Amino acid sequence: MGDLLLRILGEHQGRFVSGEEIGRRMGTSRAAVWKQVRTLRRRGFGIEGARGAGYRLLGRPDVIEETDVLSSLSSRSFWKSFTIFPVTDSTNSRAAEAAEKGAPHGTILCADAQTGGRGRFDRRWESPPGVNLYLSLLLRPPIDPSQAPQLTLVTAVALAKAVEEVAKIPARLKWPNDLYLAGKKAAGILAEMATDADRLRHVVIGVGLNVNAQESDFPRDLRGSATSLRLAAGRVFPRAEVLARFLDRFAEGYREFLSGGLTPLLPEWNRRSLIAGKRIKVRCREGDVWGTAAGVDEAGMLLFRRDGAKGEERLHSGEIIEFTG
Ligand code: BTN
């Protein structure tokens, strides 16, 4: 619906067209034209209406088109299947289903919006339409299940590189799965795996990256702590371009990881660390503990100096819930 209206507005290249002329060409009443304008606005089209002048098209929604993404990929051969859902509950759930049905390594599932976006620790991931990236990568890596969490770090480095390349602003990483821009969280990674006895069947890497979200797109309680590329860099980014750069950087990082483990990627991770040398409070199985973060090791574990303890320990999971300095 609205295709003819869009064509008419498009022909006028940003100039006003009267409601009467539009109605005549469409063979409908001005009230019906107004209804279609409202529908198009809801789909993300910028349409200005002015009394006496009519309507003009100011902007189109940022649609993620498969061809735009694939045509600009340098890692085209790495990716075997690419699906974009207008809306789904969770791309991670779709990817797990696809995996069970035999979808190949290198499958990308992406959504314009999610109704049940999931974060770590069963948290909700805000997934409004039209503004951000929500995607899951299905991988079948020839590694031990114990190494699978390292893929979160591989992904984080790829995400940081892509963001820096496109937005030209520094990205920081918070172990194990958060990307920060200007002190606020802009992206999160949720890696989920399936195993058969001690064999890794597949890994799903879910990535949520806030690209063009504005303050009003976040619920009030997140406004102080969440950000987007747009908020941090002060301009809007085509989502297809951000996605393509991430997929390229990921394919590179993944190949490096398979041949040399995390070691070649560690300097890239550690130099972007948000917490290295800082006092941090970690939520682990035995409760919340304070200490100092030293860095990340070649197994992807956090090197941590617990207050009052001798030496360094290695944390393989946990959440940094506070940091200072
Ligand atoms: C986190 O920071 O807790 C991880 C957030 C991961 C969100 C992404 S959005 C795409 C994929 N589908 C989901 O349901 N979750 C991940």
Read off the pLDDT of residues 50-67 as tens digits, 9 standing for 90 and up. Answer: 999 999 999 888 999 999
Instruction: Pinpoint the alpha helices (H) of the chain.
Output: 3-11, 19-26, 30-42, 66-71, 91-100, 150-167, 229-233, 239-260, 266-270
111 C-alpha to ligand 1 centroid (Å): 12
Tell me the CA distances in angstroms from 270 to 159, 263, 294, 295, one per residue in order: 14, 11, 10, 6
pLDDT at 1 over 60: no
Pocket, ligand 1, Cβ cutoff 6 A: 90-92, 114, 117-120, 123, 125, 134-136, 177-178, 188-190, 206-208
Ligand 1 atom with least separation from CA of 188: 2
Q: What is the pLDDT of residues 73-131, one digit of tens each?
A: 999 999 999 999 999 999 999 999 999 999 999 999 999 999 999 999 999 999 999 99
Q: Ligand 1 center to residue 88 CA distance, Å?
A: 13
Measure the CA angle with vertex 179, ends 173 and 181; round to 5°. Answer: 100
pTM value? 0.89
**For range 23-47, the mean pLDDT:** 89
Distance 308 CA to ligand 1 centre (A): 35
Q: With left for phi above 0 and alpha for psi between -120 and 50, is residue 182 left, alpha or beta?
A: left
Identify the residue whose C-alpha is closest to ligand 1 atom 15. 118
Question: What distances in angstroms separate CA 213 from CA 116, 226, 231, one per listed residue?
Answer: 18, 10, 7
In this prediction, residue 2 carries a pLDDT of: 72
Q: Measure 94 CA to ligand 1 centroid, in angstroms.
A: 12
Are the C-beta atoms of residues 307 and 291 closer than 8 Å to each other?
A: yes
Q: What pLDDT band is residue 299 in, cutting at 50, 70 and 90? A: very high
Q: What mean pLDDT is reported for the chain?
A: 94
Average pLDDT over residues 13-25: 93
Contact 171, 160 (CB under 8 A): yes
227-286 residue pLDDT tens = 999 999 999 999 999 999 999 999 999 999 999 999 999 999 999 999 999 999 999 888
